[in-house]
Amino acid sequence: MKIMPPNFRAGHYQVQALLLAFLIVIGFAAQSHAEPLSLDNSSRMSLLGIARYCITEEGQPLASVQEWKSWTPVKEAVIPLEEGKALWIRLEFEQGARAGKYYLTTSAPWAASVIFYNSADNGRPLLSGTGAFVDHRYSRPTLEFELKPGEGTTIHVRLASYRRVPAEFVLYSESGFLQNQTRQFMLLGLFGGIIFMLLILHGLMYGGLRDPLLRRYLLWMISVAVYFVFRTRLSLLILPASLAGYSQWMHTVSVCLAAIGAIRFGRFYLSLAGADYRTDLAARIIQYGATVPIFVLPVQPNLAHEMAALAGLFMGPPMFIIALLGLKKRIRDSQLFLIAWSLPIVAAIVENISFIIEQMENRILLPLAFVAEFLLFSLVIRRKIQESDAKKISDELTLSRVSQELSYARKIQRDLMPSSQHILENARVDVLYEPRQEVGGDYCDVVYPAPDYVGLFVADVTGHGMTAALDAALVRLALRSVYKERFSAAATLAAMNTFLYAHLHFRFVSAIYCVLNLRTGMGAVAGAGHPPGLQIRREQDPLILESSGTLLGVLKDWEGKDTAISLEQGDRLFLYTDGLLQSEDRMLPHTQEDELHFARERKLFSNAPPGLKELLDRSREVRGGPATDDVAIIQLQYSGGRESI
């Protein structure tokens, strides 16, 4: 082995050290000062890897930054930024043989503050803004500059934002910039045009149909359209300069409203309220949670914007899961909802991945996904509306048939009622029946137990409508089967109770019955839980004919007593149902209700008009409004016997 002398080895190590130091200096110089980028009027050029950046304190002036030695190549499209810091980007250009006009712009529009400094203009700031940029010709920060052949320039860009800064810049030639702007506005115009046509079409449909699902669909589309106006920063071209500074606030609100509108539509579309209460409650919580950034906005705008971005990104998957649950429970249209709802979710994921990788300008996928989603939902909504219209037609036909059947039932019930006037020896009987609906549960009748006798009967069956009318027919059958040769009102009601107890199930009847000898004017009255009868004598207070029996059909054995009556010439006898005096204040305590009923009774029958129609009209004034129940009245005017004094 050959041994090197010590002085040779020492010299070798010195050469290695000098070489290493030289490489470090060269590397540092290459890192700090890159060669200017030669421009040749290329239509588009991404400046990733070409631009250099440094991070300074927020108040650092341009002069201090120009002397900065440590500039790092921009390799990431988004650079994290701490609070109180600013990102500076340095770009050096040198024009080729031909003059050129260029547009330097960020790929993403969401930087909070951007200032351009061009050395060709002695470092004067050319464009600045806080959320909304002063130059309203562009929807994102853009610097326009020209270079003569062989001319060079250095551009410094100061950016500030919340937590992260878009660091990728793109340089366009004049033709490339115009092509990009044209393509962008054409795609946004296509999106806006489709949304506008859908809004007009469905707006006209809603004007005629007033469908609640269609209303939620329209509100959702409007909220999405407003969201995209602020997402693409078209708002900067629309809003006046005095309001442009609030663009970021409006963007936050629009994100929340779009999320709320989407969930509200999805809940109604899947009919969650009627299908699954717990799932609907979960969807409601998500919907109300989307409003939180709006309340945070006045206190912490940057935090609210981050929360709104998360809301817009993470509100979709929960509704997707809810739709999966609906599919499992076989809720109708859940499968189509899953397909349509997944389109914006996939588009948002692809856009965010493209943000991370390289192409931050590729922001047209989400609006296209929303258009496809709206078109899919419009097809389903059209089918739902057609089904709704068919159901409405079916319901109208059913209603017409029911109305016709009720009309027949009313006619039958009218035929079962006695005629409105009966002229008898020594008496005249008037009958009035006014059901609240087509048919009712009140019933009245005039029967003749024996020669020279008349029976007056009034009953009120529980309930209203068809069921009560059928029960009233049972009451008529019961009366007609037992009244013959019975001169005791109480005995007649007891016999009726035996029949009704066997045929009325969990229902009951209040009734009052009067048997009167037309020659003598003597008779008996008995009641079964019914308002008492009244005997009216000229220039005297009404005489109340008390009745104390229980309701018919409740107990197997009915017990009641007759109350004797004696009519004189000119006396009037009234039997009626409680609908004559009853009003909406039925929730009064029982004692107060009785007092009110008695007061109304005295007011109505004191100086009562001769006709029942007039009496019914007067009862409206006494009640203070229209009748709230069926009304049945029988009046007997007695003309036999001696004249009353």
**Can you tell me the distance from the alpha carbon of 499 to that of 519, in angstroms, rounded to the nearest whole number?**
31
State how beta strands 85-95 and 37-39 pair. Answer: parallel
Chain mean pLDDT for the chain: 79
Report residue 555: phi and psi, to 5°: -105, 150
Provide DSSP, 324-385.
Answer: HHHHHTT-TTHHHHHHHHHHHHHHHHHHHHHHHHS-TT---HHHHHHHHHHHHHHHHHHHHH
Contact 351, 362 (CB under 8 A): yes
Q: pLDDT of 247-276, one tens digit each? A: 677 878 888 888 888 888 888 877 766 667
Residue type, 398: T
What integer pLDDT is reported at residue 512 of this predicted model?
93
Contact 427, 637 (CB under 8 A): yes
Q: pLDDT of 368-410, one tens digit each? A: 888 888 888 888 887 777 777 788 888 888 888 877 777 777 7
The length of the chain, given as a count of residues: 645
Q: How confident is the model at residue 313 (pLDDT cuts 50, 70, 90)?
A: low
Q: pLDDT of 593-632, one tens digit each? A: 555 566 677 777 777 777 888 888 887 777 666 777 788 8
Sign of the torsion angle spanned by Cα atoms 300, 303, 306, 307? negative
Measured CA distances, 445 to 21, 240, 459 (Å): 124, 81, 9
Crossing angle of helices 316-328 and 301-314, in 10° steps, is: 30
What integer pLDDT is reported at residue 584 of this predicted model?
59
Report residue 118: phi and psi, to 5°: -115, 125
Contact 630, 572 (CB under 8 A): no
- Mapped onto helix, strand or coil, the DSSP state of residue 166 is strand
Give how far the C-alpha of residue 304 lies from the chain's centroid of Cα atoms, to the nearest Å. 25
What integer pLDDT is reported at residue 42 of this predicted model?
78
Give how far the C-alpha of residue 403 lies from the chain's centroid of Cα atoms, to the nearest Å. 33
Residue that the structure tokens 């079964």 belong to = 528
pTM: 0.53
Provide DSSP, 448-502.
Answer: -SSTTEEEEEEEEESS-HHHHHHHHHHHHHHHHHH-TT---HHHHHHHHHHHHHH
End-to-end CA distance of the chain, in Å?
Answer: 162
**Mean pLDDT value of segment 139-168:** 83
Q: Which of left, alpha, beta for 17 (phi over 0: left; psi -120 to 50: alpha)? A: alpha
pLDDT of residue 587 exceeding 60: no
State how beta strands 44-46 and 100-106 pair. Answer: unpaired
pLDDT of residue 485 exceeding 80: yes
Question: Sheet containing 100-106: which strands, arranged edge to edge?
Answer: 44-46, 169-173, 100-106, 142-147
**Can you tell me the distance from the alpha carbon of 619 to that of 597, in angstroms, rounded to the nearest whole number?**
12
**Bigger pLDDT: 465 or 417?**
417
Please report, rounded to a whole number, the percentage of residues in the chain having pLDDT higher than 90: 13
Provide the token pair at 78: 């988004």
What integer pLDDT is reported at residue 365 of this predicted model?
79
Q: Of 221-225, 467-471, 593-597, which gets the smallest average pLDDT?
A: 593-597
- Mapped onto helix, strand or coil, the DSSP state of residue 32 is helix
What integer pLDDT is reported at residue 28 of this predicted model?
40
Contact 444, 458 (CB under 8 A): yes
**Can you tell me the distance from the alpha carbon of 553 to that of 505, in angstroms, rounded to the nearest whole number?**
8
What integer pLDDT is reported at residue 490 of this predicted model?
92
Q: Would you call 59 exposed, middle or buried from its count of C-beta atoms within 10 A (0-12, 13-18, 19+)?
A: exposed
- Mapped onto helix, strand or coil, the DSSP state of residue 5 is coil
**Can you tell me the distance from the alpha carbon of 144 to that of 153, in angstroms, rounded to the nearest whole number?**
13
Contact 117, 159 (CB under 8 A): no
**Can you tell me the distance from the alpha carbon of 461 to that of 634, in angstroms, rounded to the nearest whole number?**
17
**Bigger pLDDT: 298 or 643?**
298
Identify the top-confidence range among 256-260, 422-426, 453-457: 453-457
Residue that the structure tokens 């009774």 belong to = 601
In 10 A of CB 118, how many CB atoms? 21
Q: pLDDT of 339-372, one tens digit each? A: 888 888 888 777 766 544 444 455 677 888 888 8
Contact 310, 370 (CB under 8 A): no
